[in-house]
Amino acid sequence: MTAPQQPSRPVSSVLPGLAWPGLPPAAGQAMLALQSQLDLTQWWTVTALAERQFAQLRLLIAHAVVHVPHYRDHLALAGIGSAAAVTPENFRNWPVLRKRDIQKDAARLLSAAPPPAHGEIGWTTTSGSTGQPLRTAVTDAAVLMQHAAVLRSQLWYGIDPAGKLAVIRMEADPPHSPGWGPPTDAVFRTGPTVRMSAFESHDAQIDWLCRERPDYLIAHNANLAALLRKSRTTGRTPAGLRAVLGFSDMAAPGLGRLVRETWHAGYFDTYSCAETGPLALQCPEQGALHVQAERVLLELLDDAGEPCGPGDAGRVVITDLHNFAMPLIRYDLGDIARFGPPCACGRGLPVLAEIAGRGGQIAVDPTGRTFFPRLNFDFWLDAAPVHQWQVAQLAADELAVRYVAERDLTGDEAAQLAAAIRKAMRYDYRIAFQRVGTIAPTPGGKFDDFIALPQTRQPR
């Protein structure tokens, strides 16, 4: 067995007289006990992981069919005799849960008797593309598992918790805090966190980053892209940034390279959703996204509801294995993704090769072809001083490009961009350009770089 030299980062200790090895408070010990398991499970085979996932799933289903009204008849609907008889094969018959099911009658998804040992029940508010807020209940135990994935990401990426962390999200409260938040604070002595709202202008965000000089930055991928662009056009670069953690939106191809070239920092992507937290983390060695199989069962389904073959794009359907307060079993996130081949790192955690944001982000052309609009980020930079952009499909053969910039694009720049878009989307679209003041995130805080035609938004 060989392993790289480890950063000798000591665990913080609260026990008098004990400095090393450290023993953190009970919450930290529980967190490290989980990490010590995740250290090993990440290397398990896909089969070994699936075996444990289904053992855990059977416990969740046994609870859900008894205590959660929505699921009362689901075993029968799926033609499964009992929770103990759930297998990967018959679980495919379990009805998919849609966002509108939760919006329509969230109360029916709440457990009437959540296990008391799972702790307090908290509420998470999110919103879908419809803009209608969605409230989900989650137990302390399920949050602990979410936190375990967050801490794992920091360990994977060699992040030094003593550093200063900057977070740009929708919410900026509180603007300053002394630590990094529960999972990291429970285990390590952490540096400070500073926060800013993603609704602030990119100029203001860059100014703030240059002033704060954080070691690490967490931000939406689309917001990051705009910030990088701003940095390149203005030459203002936050000094001392060591790594950037992108989340939420699909990372545009080349974003990692751009972070390295522009800010001289590492870049790592996290695929997460507000309802259940981190779903997949970028491999620390290879760059693919590893599904966090210890906490979430992630399926990809085709239009017929069947599992996608390798390489085929399908709807992301997830089961949070540990939330007994409001079990989300086979929950359709509205995202589209493809599984990738096994990762060269050797981890058995399944690999997501590609994630498109909402189901609505499917482009179409007049021949009826639908596809992910893979808009290569790089050509925007080469062509024009654009800070942020969005492509909207207006008709099968027509697109509008909305962009934020200091000035209008010149005719040449517009022509270059139009040519690049037509090449990327492999159709000779009519394209109109429109300079706008801002491009607002969706109510859920996502930045859509592509707005599809209404009829392609719900491809199922």
C-alpha to C-alpha distance for 44 and 56, rounded to whole angstroms? 16
For another protein (CB under 8 A), the number of binding residues is 82
Q: What's the distance, Cα to Cα, between the start and end of the chain in Å?
A: 47
The 10 Å Cβ neighbour count of residue 113 is: 10
Binding segment for another protein (CB under 8 A), chosen from 112-120, 201-209, 331-339, 398-406, is 112-120
User: Based on CB atoms, which residue is closest to another protein, 376 or 458?
Assistant: 376
Pick one of 133, 310, 346, 366: the residue that binds another protein (CB under 8 A): 346
Q: For the CB of residue 9, give the shortest distance to another protein in the complex, in Å.
A: 8
Q: Using the rule CB under 8 A, is 3 a contact of another protein?
A: yes
Binding residues for another protein restricted to 49-108, rule: CB under 8 A: 52-53, 55-56, 59-60, 62-63
Subset of residues 268 to 297 that bind another protein, contact rule: CB under 8 A: 268, 282, 284-287, 294-295
Residues 142-161 that bind another protein (CB under 8 A): 144-145, 148, 155-160
- Residue 26 sits in the site that holds another protein (CB under 8 A): yes
123 burial type by CB count under 10 A (0-12 exposed, 13-18 middle, 19+ buried): exposed
Q: Is 183 in the site for another protein (CB under 8 A)?
A: no
Q: Write out the binding residues for another protein, residues 322-341 only, by CB under 8 A.
A: 322, 324
Q: Given the complex with another protein, which of 208 and 268 has the nearer CB atom?
A: 268
**What's the token pair of residue 155?**
């360990």
The region of 26-34, 129-137, 175-183, 429-437 touching another protein under the rule CB under 8 A is: 26-34
Q: Which is nearer to another protein, 52 or 232 (CB)?
A: 52
**7 scored as a contact of another protein (CB under 8 A):** yes
Query: Considering beta carbons, is residue 265 or 329 the nearer one to another protein?
Result: 265
Enumerate residues 6+ apart whose C-beta is below 8 A from 308: 300, 301, 302, 314, 338, 339
* CB environment 343-377: b (16+ within 10 A), e (fewer): bebebbbbbbebbbbbbbbbbbbeeeeeebbbbeb
Query: Is residue 242 close enough to count as binding another protein by CB under 8 A?
Result: yes
Using the rule CB under 8 A, give the single segment among 111-119, 220-228, 331-339, 449-457 that binds another protein: 111-119
The answer, yes or no, to whether the previous bond of 341 is cis (omega within 30 of 0) is: no
Beta strand 450-451 pairing with 430-435: unpaired
Q: Answer yes or no: are the C-beta atoms of 295 and 144 closer than 8 Å.
A: no
**By CB neighbour count within 10 A (0-12 exposed, 13-18 middle, 19+ buried), where does 41 fall?**
middle
CA 3 to chain centre: 29
